[in-house]
């Protein structure tokens, strides 16, 4: 779906009206008769007047984005080519939500459909009486961020037979080439030579070679240096601690953290943000074979710490451990280091399917991330570390165990495991984002489709922009 932001009135087939009630509408009587009250997540199409009404109750990003998404769904259900939406000149607080709501809700993934439906090309004309440079900038940024989110959705939704570590590396190279940034990809020989045994072990049973991906965006006048690390499990069978069959379905989504990192650096470079960004992804398949790593194995990570493996399905943290060490060894004078992963089902149980769990040692940084996430339309909450859960990952025969000795607090114990691979000088600069809940869903919600949602991209861009102010 195309958006046209204009200060000229263009004749459109349909009219979209976003409303937080109906008492002031000229169609009030018929709307009342049809039971439309202008509430959240409600919409109504009046074919005779060619008007689409969508309700909202708050002025926040989420309410407006969901409202326009409801309207977009109505437009898409018709064969009309255009619809118009009128906004006030002073709409800077609304425009971002509306533009992103349109682009994100109109996303479709039909790569594997044998019958391609020929659909009408549709445009939404957003009319603003006085179109300022500020509004144009908001529009362009929102469009770029939305494209990045949808790129991530495409990556996450692609089947594992078509998206394995080498594929992920090639996609990363293409994204880097598109915005003229540096791309470096290392294979398993590099992992072994650089003592990255933790990451190497997870992928060694796969016929698809593991890849360590490193993209670098280095603008001349960068105000900060930020490292983004992503879990790129292109498929996770659970390894020898094999997942039940039902739990393997959707495991193509285990690459969501790595995909979000790639989408973020692409968007940041496209927007020309004044921040140096390094995007590091551990692209790995966790499979089963005679040479698979085993429960009871002791792995040595890049920083020399030893890890007792008690469950091969707790593999994402093993990949991230080496990627975090690599990042800190290769990149000096880091201002912030953030990692993203669909790490634990425990996070989904604890905070719900739509919310990211944010962990780290600095309370102020955690709260900043949560705030910026909410501003960008993504749900997030801080999860606090504590000394008692830290004891739960203590190993009797190695430095640390890859799973806890308790089923409780699983998201936090996974975060505490990663803390073992954050160097002392970076302890208060690091955050861990567990996106296991919002990264992939099997039913539509708001402006998010079935499947990959592109979680963390909007949050990241808003966070980056505010950290360099």
Residues with Cβ within 8 Å of residue 212, at least 6 apart in sequence:
185, 186, 187, 190, 191, 196, 199, 280, 281, 282, 283, 323, 326
Supply the pLDDT for residue 128: 95
Instruction: Exactly one of 73, 243, 305, 371 is catalytic; name it.
Output: 243
Indicate if 227 and 267 belong to the same structural domain. yes
Quick one: pLDDT band at residue 326, thresholds 50, 70, 90? very high
Q: Find tokens 């800077």 and name the residue.
A: 92
* DSSP line for 99-161: HHHHHHHT----TT-SS-------EEEEE-SS--HHHHHHHHHHHHHHHHHHHHHHHHHS-TT
Looking up residue 125, the CATH number of its domain turns out to be 3.40.220.10
**Does the annotation mark 243 as catalytic?**
yes
**Integer Cα distance of 157 and 252 in angstroms:** 7
Domain for residue 10, yes or no? yes
Indicate if 103 and 167 belong to the same structural domain. no
Looking up residue 440, the CATH number of its domain turns out to be 3.40.630.10
3-state secondary structure of 311: coil
CB count within 10 Å of CB 55 equals 24
For residues 295 and 92, the model is more confident at 295
> pLDDT tens digit string along 394-430?
999 999 999 999 999 999 999 999 999 999 999 999 9
Radius of gyration from C-alpha coordinates of the chain: 23
Q: What are phi and psi of 46, to 5 degrees?
A: -105, 95
Supply the pLDDT for residue 420: 98
Domain count, the chain: 2
Supply the pLDDT for residue 77: 94
Domain for residue 175, yes or no? yes
Q: What is the mean pLDDT of residues 309-337?
A: 98
Whether pLDDT at 116 is above 80: no
Domain for residue 219, yes or no? yes
CB 202 within 8 A of CB 210: yes
Indicate if 295 and 335 belong to the same structural domain. yes
Supply the pLDDT for residue 394: 98
* DSSP line for 155-200: HHHS-TTT--HHHHHHHHHHHHHHTT-EEEEE-HHHHHHTT-HHHH
Supply the pLDDT for residue 52: 98
Indicate if 322 and 401 belong to the same structural domain. yes
> How high does pLDDT run on average in the chain?
97
C-alpha dihedral sign at 207, 233, 305, 188: positive
**Integer Cα distance of 37 and 27 in angstroms:** 12
The residue out of 103, 130, 157 marking a domain boundary is 130
Indicate if 90 and 183 belong to the same structural domain. no
CB 400 within 8 A of CB 393: yes
**Integer Cα distance of 441 and 356 in angstroms:** 13
Indicate if 58 and 188 belong to the same structural domain. no
Whether pLDDT at 67 is above 90: yes
**Integer Cα distance of 294 and 205 in angstroms:** 11
Indicate if 286 and 319 belong to the same structural domain. yes
Indicate if 99 and 242 belong to the same structural domain. no
The residue out of 98, 130, 162 marking a domain boundary is 130
Question: Which of 121, 60, 124, 57 shows the shortest CA–CA distance to 96?
Answer: 60
> pLDDT tens digit string along 175-214?
999 999 999 999 999 999 999 999 999 999 999 999 999 9
Measured torsion, CA atoms of residues 203, 208, 210, 212, in degrees rounded to the nearest 10: -160
Alpha helices in 295-450 (DSSP H): 316-330, 345-351, 363-375, 387-391, 410-419
Indicate if 85 and 118 belong to the same structural domain. yes
**Integer Cα distance of 339 and 334 in angstroms:** 14
What is the token pair recorded at 229? Answer: 């690390």
Supply the pLDDT for residue 117: 77
Q: Give the neighbor-by-neighbor strand order of the sheet with 430-434.
A: 182-186, 211-217, 276-286, 225-236, 336-341, 430-434, 355-360, 379-382
pTM, two decimals, is: 0.97
Domain for residue 118, yes or no? yes
Domain for residue 136, yes or no? no
Q: What are phi and psi of 79, to 5 degrees?
A: -105, 10
Distance of CA 249 to the CA centre of its chain: 20
Q: What are phi and psi of 224, to 5 degrees?
A: -145, 160
**Integer Cα distance of 204 and 315 in angstroms:** 12
The residue out of 130, 161, 179 marking a domain boundary is 130
The domain in which residue 175 lies consists of 143-467
What is the token pair recorded at 87? Answer: 């906004």
Domain for residue 138, yes or no? no
Instruction: Exactly one of 302, 317, 429, 458 is catalytic; name it.
Output: 317
**Integer Cα distance of 465 and 319 in angstroms:** 28
Indicate if 284 and 421 belong to the same structural domain. yes
Q: What is the mean pLDDT of residues 4-27?
A: 94
Supply the pLDDT for residue 118: 80
Supply the pLDDT for residue 270: 98
> pLDDT tens digit string along 211-238?
999 999 999 999 999 999 999 999 999 9
**Integer Cα distance of 152 and 438 in angstroms:** 13
Domain for residue 27, yes or no? yes
Q: What is the mean pLDDT of residues 122-147?
A: 96
Indicate if 120 and 149 belong to the same structural domain. no
Quick one: pLDDT band at residue 9, thresholds 50, 70, 90? confident
C-alpha dihedral sign at 65, 70, 76, 80: negative
Whole-number percent of the chain with pLDDT over 90 = 96
Quick one: pLDDT band at residue 119, thresholds 50, 70, 90? confident
Domain for residue 135, yes or no? no
Indicate if 31 and 165 belong to the same structural domain. no
């Amino acid at each position: 779906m195309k958006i046209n932001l204009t200060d000229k009135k263009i004749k459109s087939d349909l009219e979209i009206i976003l409303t937080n009630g109906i008492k002031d509408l000229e169609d009030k009587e018929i709307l009342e008769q049809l039971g439309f009250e202008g509430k959240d997540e409600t919409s109504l199409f009046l074919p005779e007047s060619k008007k689409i009404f969508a309700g909202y109750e708050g002025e926040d990003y989420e309410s407006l984005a969901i409202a326009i998404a409801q309207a977009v769904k109505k437009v898409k259900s018709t064969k009309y080519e255009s619809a118009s939406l009128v906004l006030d000149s002073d709409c800077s607080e609304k425009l971002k939500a509306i533009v992103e709501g349109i682009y994100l809700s109109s996303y479709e993934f039909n790569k594997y459909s044998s019958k391609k439906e020929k659909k009408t090309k549709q445009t939404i004309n957003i009319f603003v009486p006085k179109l300022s440079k500020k509004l144009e900038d908001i529009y362009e940024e929102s469009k770029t961020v939305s494209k990045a989110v949808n790129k991530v959705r495409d990556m996450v939704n692609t089947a594992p037979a078509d998206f394995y570590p080498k594929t992920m590396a090639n996609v990363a190279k293409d994204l880097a080439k598109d915005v003229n940034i540096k791309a470096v990809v290392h294979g398993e020989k590099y992992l072994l030579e650089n003592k990255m045994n933790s990451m190497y072990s997870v992928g060694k049973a796969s016929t698809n070679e593991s890849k360590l991906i490193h993209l670098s965006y280095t603008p001349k006048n960068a105000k900060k240096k930020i490292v983004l690390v992503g879990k790129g499990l292109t498929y996770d069978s659970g390894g020898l601690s094999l997942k039940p069959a039902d739990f393997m379905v959707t495991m193509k989504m285990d690459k969501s953290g790595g995909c979000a990192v790639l989408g973020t650096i692409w968007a940041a470079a496209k927007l020309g943000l004044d921040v140096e960004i390094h995007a590091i992804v551990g692209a790995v398949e966790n499979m089963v074979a005679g040479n698979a790593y085993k429960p009871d194995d002791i792995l040595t990570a890049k920083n020399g710490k030893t890890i007792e493996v008690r469950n091969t399905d707790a593999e994402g943290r093993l990949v991230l451990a080496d990627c975090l060490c690599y990042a800190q060894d290769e990149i000096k004078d880091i201002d912030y280091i953030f990692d993203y992963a669909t790490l634990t089902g425990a996070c989904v149980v604890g905070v719900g399917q739509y919310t990211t769990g944010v962990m780290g040692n600095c309370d102020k940084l955690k709260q900043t991330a949560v705030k910026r996430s909410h501003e960008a339309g993504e749900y997030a909450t801080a999860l606090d570390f504590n000394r008692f859960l830290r004891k739960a990952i203590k190993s009797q025969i190695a430095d640390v165990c890859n799973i806890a000795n308790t089923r409780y607090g699983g998201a936090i114990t996974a975060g505490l495991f990663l803390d073992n691979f954050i160097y002392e000088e970076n302890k208060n600069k690091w955050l861990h984002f567990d996106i296991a809940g919002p990264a992939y869903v099997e039913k539509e919600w708001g402006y998010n489709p079935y499947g990959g949602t592109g979680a963390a991209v909007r949050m990241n861009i808003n966070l980056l922009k505010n950290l360099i102010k």
